[in-house]
Amino acid sequence: MEFEGQYRLAQSPKYDCLLFDLDDTLYPFSSGISAHCTMNIEDYMLEKLQIEKENIPDISNILYKHYGTTMAGLRAIGYKFDYDEYHSFVHGRLPYDKLKPDLVLRHLLLSLPIRKVIFTNGDKIHAAKVLNRMGLEGCFEGIICFETLNPPEDSSFSEDEIAETEIFDILGHFSRADANVELPKSPLLCKPSEDAMIQALKIANIDPQRTIFFDDSIRNIAAGKRIGLHTVLVGKSSRIKGADQALESIHNIKEALPELWEEAEKSEEILYSGKVSIETSVTA
């Protein structure tokens, strides 16, 4: 009877899933990938959407601030474009060679017999390239990405649809003193939208109360906290409102959350000790 109680405890750790953002979380902001991504987005706005060059930085910043991603904001204000083409332009030209294999992180991830899932606003090709360059293939159960939350059937538009597009004047909206007109909503789901995050958890069958969420974005962390996730801000040494913990680097995960490894060791000791007389199997 006493052992049965121990077994149930071992099978029910406090957390059963680690949810990781990808960019600037699994690798540092200092890699320069983020800066190149911003440049590519602005080039796309200029070359593909014919937005006036002098307005692009302000429009991009406003859209990112209010919609989570510039892409979601562009769709909200009326621009229609092929999503795959956008991702190919923005991510396809990134200097992935700046990312190097991270054997330390790989060892840390693989040393935990717990579900590990990626949750990124990026597309699946980008996510795969990042994980490949970092040598992190096989470390995660799955990837929640742009395509997960945004069906491919909505990703292309006819020339007539594009020609008939009416663009919402986002700069004019914020320059007017009396801006009572509501901002248009985006048809795209992405962080930090709580709807997007709840949908992502539902798709992956993740219980927020038993999940630790790692992200470099303060907005994403705040949204994660509101929906019940245990939140860890990555890339900062100081904890902010909405973050349960802060890590200067993802490499500090074991120092900040030693209980994860302690629980794993206890579970292993109980499950595989000589006291166990039945054959057991563990699915990580």
Q: What are 128-143's pLDDT values in tens digits?
A: 999 999 999 999 999 9
Alpha-helix residue ranges (DSSP H) falling in the chain: 2-11, 33-47, 56-67, 70-76, 83-91, 103-110, 124-134, 146-149, 159-163, 170-175, 194-203, 218-226, 253-256, 258-272
Report the distance separating Cα 6 and Cα 159, nearest Å.
64
Q: Across the strands, what pairs with 185?
A: none
pLDDT score, position 262: 85
Strand partners, 20: 118, 214
Compute the distance between CA of residue 171 and CA of residue 168 in angstroms, rounded to an integer.
Answer: 9
Q: How far is the C-alpha of 284 from the C-alpha of 279, rounded, in Å?
A: 17
Residue whose token pair is 């994980």:
131
For residue 230, the cross-strand partners are 212
Confidence of residue 202 (pLDDT cuts 50, 70, 90): very high
The more confident residue out of 155 and 41 is: 41
- Residue 164 makes CB contacts below 8 A (sequence gap 6+) with none
Confidence of residue 264 (pLDDT cuts 50, 70, 90): low
Q: How far apart are CA 7 and CA 180, in angstroms?
A: 59
DSSP labels, 99-119: ----HHHHHHHHT--SEEEEE
Tell me how many degrees the CA angle 88-90-92 measures, rounded to the nearest 5: 45
CA distance readout (Å), 216 to 186, 193, 201 = 23, 16, 19
pLDDT digits (tens, 9 = 90+) for 11-37: 567 899 999 999 999 999 999 999 999
Between CA 225 and CA 264 the distance in angstroms is 25
d(CA 42, CA 48): 10
- From 75-84, 148-157, 178-187, the region with the lowest mean pLDDT: 148-157
Average pLDDT over residues 152-180: 71
> What whole-number percentage of the chain has pLDDT above 70?
83
Taking only the tens place, the pLDDT of each residue in 45-71 is: 999 999 999 999 999 999 999 999 999
Statement: 1-30+101-150+190-284 belongs to CATH 3.30.1330.10: no
Entry pTM: 0.86
* Ranges in the chain annotated CATH 3.40.50.1000: 1-30+101-150+190-284
- Sheet with 17-20, strands from edge to edge, namely 142-144, 115-119, 17-20, 211-215, 230-234, 245-247
